[in-house]
A = this chain, B = another copy of it.
Amino acid sequence: MAKFEAGKYLELFRRELLEHVIPFWLEHSLDREMGGYFTCLERDGRVYDTTKYMWLQSRQVWMLSRLYNTLEKNDRWLEAARLGCEFIKKYGRDSSGRVYFSLTREGRPLFIQRKVFAECFYIMALDEYSRAVEDKQIKQEAVELFGKFLEWSDNPVLLGRPVLEGQKPASSLALAMSALWIADQLGEGGSEEPYRPLIEKSVREILLHRIPEKKIVLENVAPDGTLLDSPEGRLMNPGHAIEAGWFVLEEARKSGDEEIKKQALQMIEWSFEKGWDTRHGGIFYFLDAEGFPPMQLEWFMKLWWPHCEAIYAFLSAYRETGEKRFADYFGQVVDYAFSRFSDPGFGEWYGYLDRQGRPTHTLKGGPYKGCFHVPRFLLLSIGMLEKMV
């Protein structure tokens, strides 16, 4: 067995992050005139739409602040984070406090979703930025909005989504993950205690999505973890389950709970085994647990972010266990992703490949792809590889 070459990957990831990814966003996304970021960027960085999508405004603020807080006190990063944070604080919320989904270039509201994910990323942004600038008032806004987030996510009527009598109660992996992520973020670095119960509850809810008899993780289950008999109830989103897996693994590492650690590792491994396309390589976007055709037209496509999540998840699993197969999986996904998604000539990664692995879209950023998944997995992996070298 070849030794795991942590140093080789560390160098690869540092170069990718600092030479090919962050420069792309700093060069092309900053809107110096109106504030905030352009995120709809073509392969070479040309702006093809000036809409300001709040998920991505917030994620970029979080990412740049995180880089500043953890990798290097680089003033260019902080200043770019400020450009976005001031924009979202000024234009991002409506009079009831809800966060818009999209704004015009100038910051005028365009669309609001009946979901709480825009709020999730907004809270993350404010919290991480508040640490970079040591501003307690911004932190306070984040904490207060999290209270609303929990209220709203428990009661969709407050978001304008009618509850109809045929609907079955369900647990959504996305919602449980979001709650865990925010609670972990807000509690990081000292004030974790008040968030402990919510973190533990979210971890329990996430683990309900494991179906051990079938060795799968489902996106939606009944609140008691039993199966929902519908396409939503059979839906697997392997990238998302892998992401949830490494999140729970971090919590298990902190708490030292061996059973939770084992279950987190299963989430990662099962989802990868089911999700990997043995024919053409890459991780499918969606699958139906019973093998029926997934409802999503794009189920067979290979998206950048599940690969980002899988790389960090397997690195984390390998470091935790030392088991060779996790290192092998890590190498397998790194090879696939760096040879197909990465675009060193222009920077950043392609987002969307067909089943065979060819780009279907030349864009580097769009309404759902921005300065987030690629730099996040690189930053996290660099931190871990540094400990392993």
User: A-side interface residues toward B, CB under 8 Å?
Assistant: 40, 42, 48-49, 51, 100, 103-104, 106, 108-112, 160, 162, 164-167, 230-231, 290, 292-295, 297-301, 352, 354-355, 360-363, 366-367
Contacts and interface: CB of A to CB of B under 8 A. Distances in A.
Contacts of A297: 297-298, 301, 352, 360-361
Contacts of A292: 42, 48-49, 363
Given A49-B230, A295-B367, A300-B360, A110 B166 contact: yes
A165 B355 contact: no
Contacts of A352: 297
A76 to B, nearest CB: 29
Given A49-B231, A231-B49, A361-B293, A354 B300 contact: yes
A301 B51 CA distance: 26
Contacts of A290: 48
A51 B298 contact: no
Nearest to A102: B166
A294 B49 CA distance: 11
A256 to B, nearest CB: 41
Contacts of A231: 40, 48-49, 51
A297 B294 CA distance: 15
26 contacts: A42-B292, A42-B293, A48-B293, A49-B231, A49-B292, A100-B164, A103-B166, A106-B166, A108-B164, A108-B166, A109-B164, A109-B166, A110-B167, A112-B164, A292-B363, A293-B361, A293-B362, A293-B363, A293-B366, A294-B361, A297-B297, A297-B352, A297-B360, A298-B298, A299-B360, A354-B355
Given A48-B293, A108-B165, A297-B360, 9 more contacts: A40-B231, A48-B292, A104-B166, A106-B166, A108-B164, A109-B164, A293-B366, A297-B361, A298-B298
B295 A366 contact: yes
Contacts of A293: 42, 48, 361-363, 366
A215 to B, nearest CB: 22
A165 B95 CA distance: 13
A201 B164 CA distance: 37
Contacts of A299: 360
Contacts of A111: 164, 167
Contacts of A295: 366-367
A340 to B, nearest CB: 16
Nearest to A367: B295
Contacts of A166: 103-104, 106, 108-110
A312 to B, nearest CB: 24
A56 to B, nearest CB: 13
A231 B50 CA distance: 10
A58 to B, nearest CB: 18
Contacts of A355: 354, 360
A237 to B, nearest CB: 14
Nearest 10 interchain pairs by C-beta = A108-B166, A109-B164, A293-B361, A297-B298, A104-B166, A48-B292, A293-B363, A110-B166, A109-B166, A49-B231
A320 to B, nearest CB: 34
Contacts of A366: 293, 295
A167 B51 CA distance: 11
A48 to B, nearest CB: 4
